[in-house]
Amino acid sequence: MGEGVAAEGGRHIETSAGPRIEQRVARRVGQHAGRGLDSAVGEDVEQMAEEATARLAAQMEQDGALNVPAVPGSRPVMVVASFGTSYPDSRRAAIGGVEAALAAAFPTWEVRRAFTARKVIAAIERREGRRVPTVGEALSACAEQGVREVCVVSTHLIPGREYADVRTAVEAARGLFERVCMTGPLLDSDDDVDCVVDACVRAMMALDDGASAFCLMGHGTYVEADRLYDRVAAALCCEGRRNCFLGTVEGRITLRDAADAIWRAGYRRAVLRPLMLVAGDHAHNDMADASDPESLAGLLAARGIEPVCVVEGLGQLPAVRARYVGHAHAALAGA
């Protein structure tokens, strides 16, 4: 997944694994001598970067923080604010993947997790016996420990209600720290939209049979920010891509709209992928549950179109992780 952009997402992660990666690359150089060296070594480095990300993500899932100092509060803190999910595997791979990329890119910053969905927080506490803090709780804990500098990285895609809640919590805590900054949402600019869409299309191309439609499923919202999905739809269709479509669960561009458009275009097979940070309830139920006639897979199947579902979040794509890292750099530079 993410061919051609994994190196961008793994650049910082490679260094976090220390000399082990350099030694393994050196061994592989000898093994591949004389036969596609650059390509083989490049693939190995990408794989090792993903392995390093997975290790850090597993550590975050266990501890709730990365780059933890010996003395609490002695480092600046990066609070990664996500909606959250009660699906442990997706949480580790997608949210943990983004947190791991940030921890590797900012080794002198402690990276902590916070969720905005109180129902998700309650579900995790009930099922797993541990509590993920809200953004307000995470910031209060930082202040109590004497942290002086905080950067809040929002993983939300658009400036909708959840993102506004994060902004409100940050503004309420601003007087508690010497320096506070916050990133914009993932799809904060046209360049962001183009990058994320391109990463998704590249990933779906791995499942193309040469005659498939590609369809992204976004969340959508009832507020003005839903218009950003128009920009996503436009980006999907650029560069001569005529087989790309978009539908949303709660927005103006509906799942039925997407299914109808794919059917009218004459496709009989469609690769589906969630345009969401994690593959949680919406991805499993609203996209991939073909037994539900109102799901995207069900709507397509009813029209004689074979759905091929990729139940994987945006946070699992190296290029998207790199985008979050870029947003953090920009927020710190502008603070």
Assess whether 219 carries a catalytic annotation.
Answer: yes
Residue type present at position 99: E
Greater model confidence, 7 or 158: 158
Q: What is the mean pLDDT of the chain?
A: 88
| Cβ neighbourhood burial of 288 (10 Å; 0-12, 13-18, 19+) | buried
Q: What is the pLDDT of residue 240?
A: 77
CA–CA distance, 332 with 102 (Å, rounded to integer): 13
Q: Which residue reads 């709507």 in tokens?
A: 299
Q: What is the pLDDT of residue 38?
A: 58
Whether the Cβ atoms of residue 91 and residue 278 lie closer than 8 Å to each other: yes
Phi, psi for 35 (deg, rounded to 5) = -145, 95
Q: Give the closest residue to 52 by CA, choosing from 89, 90, 14.
A: 14
The alpha-carbon radius of gyration of the chain (Å, integer) is: 20
pLDDT digits (tens, 9 = 90+) for 245-286: 999 999 999 999 999 999 999 999 999 999 999 999 999 999
pLDDT digits (tens, 9 = 90+) for 160-211: 999 999 999 999 999 999 999 999 999 999 999 999 999 999 999 999 999 9
Compute CA 83 distance to the chain's CA centroid, rounded to the nearest angstrom: 11
Q: What is the pLDDT of residue 241?
A: 86
Of the candidates 156, 219, 282, 327, the residue annotated as catalytic is 219
Q: Give 229's contacts (C-beta < 8 A, 6+ positions apart).
A: 218, 220, 246, 248, 251, 252, 253
DSSP state of 52: H
List b or e across 133-159, with b for residues whose CB sees 16 or more CB atoms inside 10 angstroms: bbbbebbbbbeeeebbbbbbbbbbbbb
What residues are paired with 257 via a beta bridge? none
What's the mean pLDDT in 113-137? Answer: 97
pLDDT digits (tens, 9 = 90+) for 226-236: 899 999 999 99
Handedness of CA 89, 94, 99, 100 (dihedral sign): positive
Greater model confidence, 4 or 49: 49
As given in the structure block, the two tokens for residue 96 are 């943990």
Residue ranges of alpha helices (H) inside 145-243 are 161-173, 190-205, 228-236
* Total residues belonging to the chain: 335
Q: What is the pLDDT of residue 99?
A: 98
Q: Give the closest residue to 96 by CA, choosing from 51, 63, 56.
A: 56
